[in-house]
Amino acid sequence: MNTDKLLQNFRFIAYWEGWSYLAIFVTMIFKYVFKMGTANFIVGSVHGILFILYVILLFLLLLNKRINITQALIGFIVSLIPFGTFYADKKWFSKW
């Protein structure tokens, strides 16, 4: 796969992974305050799939030598921080 297309796909998944991460916080209110766990289960499942895709694409970028190990580690760490992928996209991902 073309590394430009790979990066484009990675940034797309990073964007939605970031939103799904934030959505989990909203659905936690439904789960614990209103005792409605279905929304949290659905959003959590979607987030899990997006996170796995994010990590796979990050690894493929590393394997294709589009990024180095330091950039891959930064990419992984920011995925664990709320709003991290949005910040990283502006600061780093757009420049890769």
8 Å CB contact between 6 and 64: yes
Specify the pLDDT at position 1: 66
Q: How many CB atoms neighbour CB 88 within 10 A? A: 21
Specify the pLDDT at position 92: 85
Torsion of Cα atoms, 41 then 58 then 18 then 25, to 10°: 40
Specify the pLDDT at position 79: 92
Q: What is the mean pLDDT of each run of 10 residues along the chain (96 residues)?
A: 88 95 93 91 96 96 91 94 90 81
Predicted TM-score of the model (pTM): 0.88
